[in-house]
Amino acid sequence: MNTPTPENPSFFSQLGPILFLTTIFFLNFIGRIVFAPLIPSIENDLGLDHTEAGSMFLLISLGYFISLLGSGFLSSRLTHRRTIIVSALSVGIVLICTSFSNSLWSVRLSLLFLGLAAGLYLPSGITTLTSLISVKHWGKAVAIHELAPNLGFVVAPLLSELFMIWFSWRGVILFLGTGSILMGIAFAFFGRGGEFLGEAPNFGSLKTLFLEPAFWIMTVLFSFGICGTLGIYTMLPLYLVTEQGFDRSWANTLVALSRISGVFMAFIAGWVSDRLGPKLTMSGVFLITGLMTILLSSVPDAWIVILVFLQPVMAVCFFPPGFAALASIGPPNARNVAVSLTIPAAFIFGGGAIPMGIGMMADAGFFDLGIALAGGLILTGSLLALLLRSPRQ
């Protein structure tokens, strides 16, 4: 059954389509997070305060939440392939529109639509990816696909600084939007896979899932996990510039370099999780990440650069054991529903509400305290993870 055939191709024969999808995912992800390194410039250009700047990420997360929940309805009518194309084209169009926005409300509306457009990709992208190859190669394929967000964290600040040598923040957004449209067109002509209909959410499985305490615990843990990575990342450049007195270019360069470790630390975390189990691995990750985040807000100036590098090293390690634990919740036919509900809800809180809350604390003169409180929340995940009991373990 595992012998390569036209119906069961080898892994390397499908490496091109895998990299094609990874590139689309990369543009999808970087289009959402690039606003973090651009925030200081956007604040100056549009006259925003820190709360208004932080609310931008809440709106992206809100759109992403709605889109992820409803993506099954679209793919069940368009096929996964067409849904990927629609997502890539829509992300590009919205980013281009955002680059021409001149008011806070036009930016907010654009970012809400950006989240809606971006959220369509992931369910169809993962389904298409896994349909291209044998089950025994899924781990390698997903690992390659997950390089997209880890590289996005590194590239977004560097790309922003490179473009802002010649252009304003609008030029960065315009470039990424154009790239996403071109990739969508390229996939329409040359992309492979996903030529089948998706399935709309089966609401009959929701009751079983909602009655399991492990589902709610994992939703909270993923919120803390996203807070430790995306939530802190979105506000860190602004914190370094306004509170620590860093030059914007230096701050963005530091943030970019600090995320390089995420490219390989996730693989190490997966190895540790296989040996210690997801529960203990998550508990240790939250303990160290929470402490590092609290220290990030309180160390003397001479130590701040070290903490900028140390904090994300452990934060990114949550996701391999987190997804392993999430996959064990509920019956097999409800597994995709668990992912579809947990991830968007976690994005709303960890990637949207917490950055906005930090921005509100910053406007009140307590930027340091806002980051420290976020670290305290992450720290509580260390204890909560120990309470996790999966019914399928």
Q: CATH number of the domain that 361 lies in? A: 1.20.1250.20
Say yes or no: 243 and 390 in one domain: yes
Picking from 193, 220, 252, the residue at the C-terminal end of a domain is 193
Contacts of residue 211, Cβ cutoff 8 Å, sequence gap at least 6: none
Give one word for 277, left, alpha or beta, with left for phi > 0 and alpha for psi -120 to 50: left
pLDDT tens digit sequence for 334-375: 555 666 677 778 888 887 788 888 888 888 888 889 889 999
pLDDT digits (tens, 9 = 90+) for 57-87: 788 888 888 887 777 778 778 888 899 999 9
Phi then psi for residue 161, to 5 deg, are: -65, -35
Neighbours of 260 (CB within 10 A): 16
Domain boundary among 151, 168, 193: 193
The verdict on 87 and 176 lying in the same domain is: yes
| Total number of domains constituting the chain | 2
Asked whether residue 28 falls in the same domain as residue 130, the answer is yes
Q: Which is more confidently placed, 157 or 184?
A: 184
Q: What are the tens digits of pLDDT across the range 294-338?
A: 998 888 777 888 888 888 888 888 877 777 677 667 655 455 566
Residue 382 contacts residue 317 (beta carbons within 8 Å): no
The answer, yes or no, to whether residue 126 has pLDDT greater than 80, is no
Q: Are residues 257 and 167 in the same domain?
A: no
What dihedral do alpha carbons 291, 297, 301, 303 form, nearest 10°? 10
Residues 145 and 208 in one domain: no
Cα gap 341→136, rounded to integer Å = 26
Provide the pLDDT for residue 333: 47
Q: Are 149 and 237 in contact (CB under 8 A)?
A: no
- Tokens of residue 136, six digits: 């025994």
Contact 91, 27 (CB under 8 A): yes
Tell me the mean pLDDT in the region 276-291: 88
Looking at the fold, whether 164 and 244 belong to one and the same domain comes out as no
**pLDDT exceeds cutoff 80 at 196:** no
Q: What pTM, to 2 d.p., does this model score?
A: 0.75
The segment with the largest mean pLDDT, out of 110-124, 185-199, 259-273, is 110-124
> pLDDT of 224-269, one tens digit each?
998 888 888 888 888 888 888 888 888 888 888 888 877 777 777 7
